[in-house]
Amino acid sequence: MIHAPLLDPSAGVGPVQPRHALLINPFYPKDPNASFGKHVLTPTLALTSFAAATPAHWTLEYWDENLLDGRPPFEPMPELVGITVHLTFAERAFELARWYRIRGSKAVLGGLHVLSCPDECAPHADALAVGDGVQSWPRILADAERGSLQSRYFAAYENDYRTDPAPRRDILPRKSFLTTTSLIATRGCHNRCGFCYLSTDGLRMPYRMREPAQIAAEFEDDGQPYAVFIDNNLGSRPEYLRALCEALRPLKRIWSAAVSIDVTDDSSLVRSMALAGCTGVFVGFESLADQNLSEARKRTPKTAEYARRVGILHDHGIQVNGSFVLGFDHDRKDVFDRTAEWVEYNRLECATFHILTPYPATPLFRQMEAEGRLLHRDWSRYDTAHAVFRPKHMSAEELEQGYAWIYQRLFSYRSIWRRRPEDWRALAPYLAMSYLYKRSNRLWHLLIRHDLVHAVWWPLVELTRIRHLRFRERLARTETPSARPGNVVAAGV
């Protein structure tokens, strides 16, 4: 889970197979403080979306190095290799591109790091897909067939999102993921936080939505009982989320999504989410200090409101995975203990922590650079698990130590027990899932390596779905829910 598979330099060079493409998600080291399991909950949508835009006369392979199946395939040697590039695994992406190019393949690099640092990526590729790669991919393939591949392809995120083809999930190894139903209904967010990748220079991503019926059909067609929405903020347009819930409700399946806490402005919307199968939300609280949120340009209710709003979600049977950023300029050494206490007191079923990280080409990066606070530009450490800048009220070492401490605290038996659900009927599945997800990294290594992820998780997911359907029946009969369902942590991660 830490080291990428070796690329054999002595591997033979076979003939390149015309009109054969290989799509690769490069390996990235896993944070030992967090759960290894979150990396195989659902596959990335980028490559399956590229696959959907591939003409039928091209053959296609998918390879995710993080599934621990060894080095990527090379028999047959692909004519074209498409590689997703994120700054934390940029060097691995470049290494893969170099390996295939030496053997006659053409390497196409795309992803956020290509958008933010194109000049850095260009020497490692035959072509760059800058911006919306789904639009560029068919043009890239056509040019490759003609032998006229361009060095850069540009596409904006302003097309009619409803016309994008549904991702091709048939190319995925289903046994390797908790669920292959990763969905994206919208793109963009009403926030433009200074530390978020959405504020990257040159990235203009207006809020765009697909038809609710399209999303419901994708969910139904994949045949999975549980889906994960990977939207930046599924609740940015409340009226759209309400319509989406109406489309999902007849499926009698469960799902989770990332939303901002202001989704609780209207409790009837939260009720619609629950009745449509929402069992968990990922909420970017970011900080418990209003000054931090204001300076980050995050539009959100006051932090004093957070606890009440978490209660609204819990009252509707929706579990909360809270996301917190550590190291803001108003954070002092007590931020770790205060945040842990708040998470436990409000019984968040799961919590995710990140060290504040200035991504290249964001306002935060420019600020840190201007103030001379960046420690280095080793992108592999810009993974939100390392301090890459000088904090104002503690040392970088103290920030990293506090980050490790808060994960150890929230993953401890004591904390898991303190955060147990108030409804006794939910206790057993909550504990089973918490221990499996939070305290089983050695087990996760075995499950991933032997393709057992889906087999082990499926019974717990199905139990969650059945329990939630019973809760939905009770909720539909009442104006205010009086009991919370026995959902499990998987629904909220």
Lowest mean pLDDT among 225-234, 263-272, 311-320, 419-428: 419-428
At residue 491, the pLDDT reads 40
432 or 230: whose pLDDT is higher? 230
Domains 16-161 and 173-477 share a fold: no
What predicted TM-score, i.e. pTM, was given to this entire model? 0.92
Least confident span in 190-194, 217-221, 295-299: 190-194
Measure the CA–CA gap between 250 and 133, rounded to whole angstroms.
33
Chain centroid to Cα 50, Å, comes to: 18
User: CATH number of the domain at 16-161, please?
Assistant: 3.40.50
Q: What is the reported pLDDT for 4? A: 92
Distance (Å, whole) CA 461 – CA 356:
33
Tens digits of residue pLDDT in 125-180: 999 999 888 999 999 999 999 999 999 999 888 777 788 889 999 999 999 999 99
Average pLDDT of the chain?
91
Least confident stretch, 107-111, 200-204, 287-291, 455-459: 200-204
Burial (CB count <10 Å: 0-12, 13-18, 19+), residue 403 = buried
Query: pLDDT band at residue 396, thresholds of 50, 70 and 90?
Result: very high
pLDDT above 90 for 482? no
Query: DSSP for 356-404?
Result: ----TTSHHHHHHHHTT-B----GGG-SSSS--B--SSS-HHHHHHHHH
Which of the four pLDDT bands, split at 50, 70 and 90, describes residue 306? Answer: very high
Predicted pLDDT at 140: 98
**173-477 under CATH 3.80.30.20, yes or no:** yes
Query: For position 55, what pLDDT does the model report?
Result: 96
pLDDT, one tens digit per residue, over 309-346 is 999 999 999 999 999 999 999 999 999 999 999 999 99
pLDDT computed for residue 387 by the predictor: 98
Q: Is the pLDDT of residue 485 over 70?
A: no
* Mean pLDDT confidence for 212-219: 97
What does the domain layout of the chain look like in residue ranges? 16-161, 173-477
